[in-house]
A and B are shown apart, each in its own frame.
Chain A
Amino acid sequence: MIRKKSVESKLLVQNEKKRSKGVSQWNIAWRRFKKNRAALAGALIVGFVIFLAAFDVLIAPFHPNATPGFYIGETRSPPSLKYLFGTDYIGKDVFSQVVYGARSALFVGFASAAIAMSLAILVGLISGYYGGIIDNVLMRITEIFLVIPFLLILLVFLKVITAISPSGGGLSMVVLMIGLFSWAADARIIRGEVLRVKESEFIEASKSLGASKRRIVFRHIFPNVLHIIIVLTTLMIASAILVEAAISFLGFGDAAAITWGQQLQKANEAVKEAWWEGVFPGLFITLLVLGFSLLGNGLRDALDPRLRE
């Protein structure tokens, strides 16, 4: 008897703590995060790229589409002081392209993740909370999307888009496609978390507080699911950047856009003569993806409610 009472009161105290400012979950998480050097490195990298994107006009010595090397015979020239990363086949400065590419990379990452996560959260929350037929139907649909060969379907759809409208809809279309097909796995994970929280909190809440149980359940579900959403979003950004790079590399992306993937596509033919055309953009892709991965892992470690103090 005493034991059960203390469990309930412990639960209420815990929840009160969540709302009081001194020892809030977020404070604890922030402190843990700060101690994690890898996570800080990740944040630094992401910050660096954001900086590049914000000030690209100031940082890049040339306009990315300009061909400063063309008329003076400096096409396909290796890295030098003038062209930090060398020039490509028609004399464009690789470094400038890389700098401007930062903006596209971030756009692709954030926008795709936004679309994919919105869908994942919607499906995951509804499915987990309501259960029953709704859950069943939504999960079947999720499974179809999980079975579809991801890259293949993207290629087909993108071909469709470029065929229908010759301008191709640009990078936004790529982003939309990636978002539309990446939500399934995360939807399942979110649903799992919702179910877990529902089960643990519901029983306690229903016993001790009776009437307002539904409200309590809702107020408890969302904060706990928020942890996993933050982590999944960060990792989704990393994955979206990789996918766009692959799509552009295969030639199905937006040829007019300046993305690192596009640079790699053009560089593929020149691999033997001008290694710098491909090596540097690829390096930056790796760097940014690494940044978001470290950030995501760091957030996961910091926010994990199961880790003891």
Chain B
Amino acid sequence: MIRYAVRRILYLIPLFFGVLIIVFVASRLAGDPVRLMTVQNPRITPEARENLTKYYGLDQPLYMQFILFVSQLLQGNLGNAYAIRGGTAVTTLIGDYAWLTFELQLAALFLSLLIAIPIGIISAKRQYSKLDVSVTTTSLLGTCIPVFYMGIIAIIIFSYFLGWFPYGGAHSILPERYPFGSYVLDELWHMALPTAVLTFATLAPIVLLVRSSMLEVLRQDYILAARASGLSERSVIYKHALRNTLIPIVTYVGLYFGAMLAGAPVTETVFNWPGVGRLFVEATTKLDFPVIMGITVFITIMTLISNLITDITYGYIDPRIRLE
């Protein structure tokens, strides 16, 4: 088992660098950040521009820049932003905002699984019942509605018309408006709408997957054999069927987590949530290379880690894989 895990980890390293190279080259091709930075400054001279370029090391050939980047990366240094927040260290930026992104994503994922798995199971057990039909329809719709649209609608209904929740952001600007004066409660209050929307978007495909996986499993001979042995219905469903049902779910969630993170920019923009997603949009618009690369590195690492965890969990649940 350990060897299996180590093999997977080693395997991911070239993958990681492959991604880095692609993003690195792409962002460099985009243009000259120095020009963008200084375009509003009327007194900028060509020499000043040159100096800035040299300062940021942008005059070096591409591969040199990349080597420099990688060597700094290995030391845990992601450089400083060009313009965002006055050139703070990228690691600081990410550190400040990453937690907020994770808050939303993890809460949504956790809630999704909590709701989706039982509902999927019940839906499968009562196939074609009214409950099943409504669950399937709602979930299908949930996979088709764009997340940001859901967000907009949610804001219109719950913030604008009903006034129950704030329009966006992670905190009220005025501390007086904190519910019961609590900072934490204020954050939860602001989290409510984005989390609800993200949870719904996440659980919809999972419900459908659990349901179809369960239906597939219930058709199998070994389920019939379990029944023929006189086992209770509870044992049949929760012991025999469930484990097999969850196998594709594990794969899905593992891969999905990476996709979820990558989709953060959208949710965070709608709700003006100050996470790394929104930061990324800002950085890309301003061509702030270090931030772009930094966030990409960060999210890629997260994705790879979640892939790894998925692989290991999969090996644990399905003994057929484990023993290869």
Touch test A–B (CB under 8 Å): yes
Interface residues of A (CB under 8 A from B): 140, 143-144, 146-153, 155-157, 159-160, 163-164, 238, 242, 245-246, 249-252, 264, 267-268, 271-272, 275, 278-279, 282, 285-286, 289-290, 293-294
Q: Least Cβ distance of B22 to chain A in Å?
A: 7
Instruction: State in angstroms the CA–CA spacing of A278 and B304 once bound together.
Output: 36
Query: Within the complex, which residue of A140, A156, A249, A289 is in contact with B284, where a contact is CB–CB below 8 Å?
Result: A156
Q: A164-B31, A279-B156 are in contact. Are A152 and B299 (CB under 8 A)?
A: yes
Q: Which of B22, B261, B285, B287 has a CB less than 8 Å from the CB of A153? A: B22
Q: What chain B residues lie within 8 Å of A264 (beta carbons)?
A: 146, 148-149, 152
B313 shortest CB reach to chain A, Å: 18
A-B contact pairs, 14 of them (CB 8 A): A144-B15, A146-B255, A149-B296, A149-B300, A149-B303, A150-B262, A152-B299, A160-B31, A164-B30, A271-B152, A275-B156, A278-B156, A282-B145, A290-B140
Check: B101 CB closer than 8 A to any chain A CB.
no
Contact A152 B26 (CB under 8 A): no
Q: Are A151 and B262 in contact (CB under 8 A)?
A: yes
| B292 contact from A156, A251, A293, Cβ within 8 A | A156
Known: A151-B263, A159-B287. A242 touches B146 (CB 8 A): yes
**Does B19 interact with chain A (Cβ within 8 Å)?**
yes
Cβ–Cβ < 8 Å partners of A278 in chain B = 149, 152, 156
Binds A, one of B42-50, B173-181, B264-272: B264-272
> Is B155 in the interface zone, CB < 8 Å from A?
yes
| Chain A, Cβ-Cβ closest to B156 | A275
Asked if B265 and A163 make an inter-chain contact with CB atoms under 8 angstroms apart, the answer reads no
Closest to A252 in B: B284
Q: Could you say which interface size class chain B belongs to?
A: 35 or more
Q: Tell me the interface secondary structure of chain A in the complex.
A: helix
Are B22's CB and A148's CB within 8 A?
yes
A293-B144 in contact (CB<8A): yes
User: Which residues of B pack against A, CB within 8 Å?
Assistant: 14-16, 18-19, 22-23, 26-27, 29-31, 140-141, 143-149, 152-153, 155-156, 160, 167, 255, 258-259, 261-263, 265-266, 269-270, 280-281, 284-285, 287, 292, 295-296, 299-300, 303-304, 307
B31 — nearest CB in chain A belongs to which residue? A163
A160/B27 in contact, CB under 8 A: yes
Neighbour of B144 across the interface among A152, A246, A289, CB < 8 A: A289
- Note all chain A residues with C-beta closer than 8 A to B167: 272
| Contact indicator B266/A151 (Cβ below 8 Å) | yes
The residue in A156, A157, A294 that gathers the most chain B C-beta atoms within 10 A of its C-beta is: A156
Chain B residue numbers with a CB within 8 Å of A148 are 19, 22-23, 300
